[in-house]
Amino acid sequence: MAGRENGAALLMSLVILLVLTLLAVSGMQGSIMQERMTSAQREGVVALEIAEAGLRQAESVLEGMSDLSNFGAVSGYYDANDGDLPSPYDNSAWADSNQTIAGAAVNGVVPRYFFEFRGPVTLEDEGELPRDLGRQQGAAPVEFQSARIVVMAPGPSGSGRRIIETFYVFDLN
């Protein structure tokens, strides 16, 4: 009888060991998934910061313009009326230096952007878009130019990217 009891104890300890092993493997898979999610989130945040840096670069380009001759004539400068804008969701558009402009690298990652000229816009004397054009008060309205800026930045590992766009109002120098 003692031999059978020893065998049962061995069998029970193997079953308990198997259950503990399954729990450990399940916990490790959960940790690996959390690590991947954390890495992807970090990748996205860094890509967004790089895209925002690219946006600031693009805004400074518009601020330094003295005429509108680049729009429709130079790579990365488009006129909204031409209809030949690249799609922000097309990977080949961002890889093509004839369609977008490379910004300055941030930690080795290069943001890319393009401009879409939208035309003149009238601002109130305080420099704001009028909320009610019929009841404008104060000095005469001022005409500025407007453009859409689209920026794409990959993450440091290249597995993610962020695309941001803004509409920017600027004055020619």
CA 26 to chain centre: 34
Which pLDDT band holds residue 133 (cuts at 50, 70, 90)? very low
Domain of 126, in residue numbers: 2-170
Looking at residue 147, the DSSP 8-state letter turns out to be E
Distance, CA of 122 to CA of 108 (rounded, Å)? 40
Distance, CA of 99 to CA of 81 (rounded, Å)? 16
pLDDT at residue 21 above 70?
Answer: yes
Q: What dihedral do alpha carbons 133, 137, 141, 144 form, nearest 10°?
A: -70
Distance, CA of 79 to CA of 142 (rounded, Å)? 22
The residue behind tokens 């695309």 is: 163
> What are the tens digits of pLDDT across the range 38-63?
989 999 999 999 999 999 999 999 99
pLDDT the model gives residue 115: 96
